[in-house]
Amino acid sequence: MVVIRLTSTLWMGNLNYMSRFIFATLGSLVITATAAAQQVPGRDLFEFPLGLLAEAPALSMQMTGGLWNPANAALHAPGRAAFGFAALTTPQEQGVRLDMVSGAYNLRPSLTASISAVNAGVSDLIRTETDPHSIDGEIPYGSTLLSAGLAGTRQHVTVGAAARYRWGSSDSDHQGILGIDGGVLVDGIGRVPVRLAASTFLFSPEGNDEASYFAAGDVPLFARDSTFSLRAGYSFSHTETRGHESYTFATSRYEMLDLSAGLAVNSVFGSTNRSWRLGCGLHYAGYTLAIGREDGAAGLGASYQFLFTRVMK
């Protein structure tokens, strides 16, 4: 049996003991059911919006490497190379953490190569038998994703593709799967300054039960030279066997500072959850430093993100 470790202060009395036992049992059932529904363990950990900072997945360009849309890994002049680091952490009762490192390099003015590595895991999963007392230490549960991609730009259209390999572990179960993802970004249609994007995530010829599909678009609401801009948009995503998400968002930038916010509505396994996402970034001399926050679902606390990137000329 797998449960989530209870790290709060121990309470006395049968009522409190039974509350802890029921919570541990429910946690075990949820994790066991989720793991059983996955081709490779750890797919559910990639539902967290790593490196997005309240942006739409198909449109996000804050993080180097194009994790959610390979087309967004493209570098534009005067940038020649870039690298970045992103991290996401959830409250202790979930114990989820994701880390990402990535890099990109302009092979030619219109062609960019990118690589990235993401590691996701859950801490404090312990073995039990008939009560919440642990035996034999923690159970490993996590996944690692490696990606290598190319993105090319012609006029206002950027197209990208990435080869991926993901492996995961759940106790003694270790599996891996190959995949390939593609994406497109259209920055303007004629004289209309709309941005449109679409991409896949974790699509695999070996089986697409875990693939996600993203589509998004945004338009400018206000712009003043290059000092201030405000855009609003809508994003939709669907993940096989898991449900879909609609996301309404706005992004703004004033000189070196950018802000983003949005409301996500998730429909998963017959239930609907709403959560706010907030992001704030500071840009200076090719450096970006940003933080983000997302409300937790089902009464859980918020998750937080950190992002750092460097673009070199």
Own/partner long-range contacts of 100-109 (Cβ < 8 Å, ≥24 apart): 100/50, 100/51, 100/63, 100/65, 100/67, 102/63, 102/64, 102/65, 102/67, 103/64, 103/65, 104/64, 104/65, 104/66, 104/73, 104/75, 105/75, 105/80, 105/81, 106/75, 106/79, 106/80, 106/81, 109/77
> 141: closest CA among 31, 42, 46?
42
Tokens of 78: 């005067």
User: For each of the chain's 313 residues, which pLDDT tens digit applies?
Assistant: 333 333 333 333 333 333 333 333 334 334 444 444 567 999 999 999 999 999 999 999 999 999 999 999 999 888 999 999 999 999 888 889 999 999 999 999 899 999 999 999 998 777 665 555 555 667 889 999 999 999 999 999 999 999 999 999 988 788 999 999 999 999 999 888 999 999 999 999 887 678 999 999 999 998 887 789 999 999 999 998 778 999 999 999 999 999 999 999 998 877 888 999 999 999 999 999 999 999 987 667 899 999 999 999 9
Which residue has 């198909």 as its token pair?
58
Domains belonging to the chain, first-starting first, are 2-312 (2.40.160.40)
CA 280 to CA 258: how far, in whole Å?
A: 6
Which amino acid appears at position 113 of this protein? A
**Is 164:145 a contact under the CB 8 Å cutoff?**
yes
pTM comes to 0.83
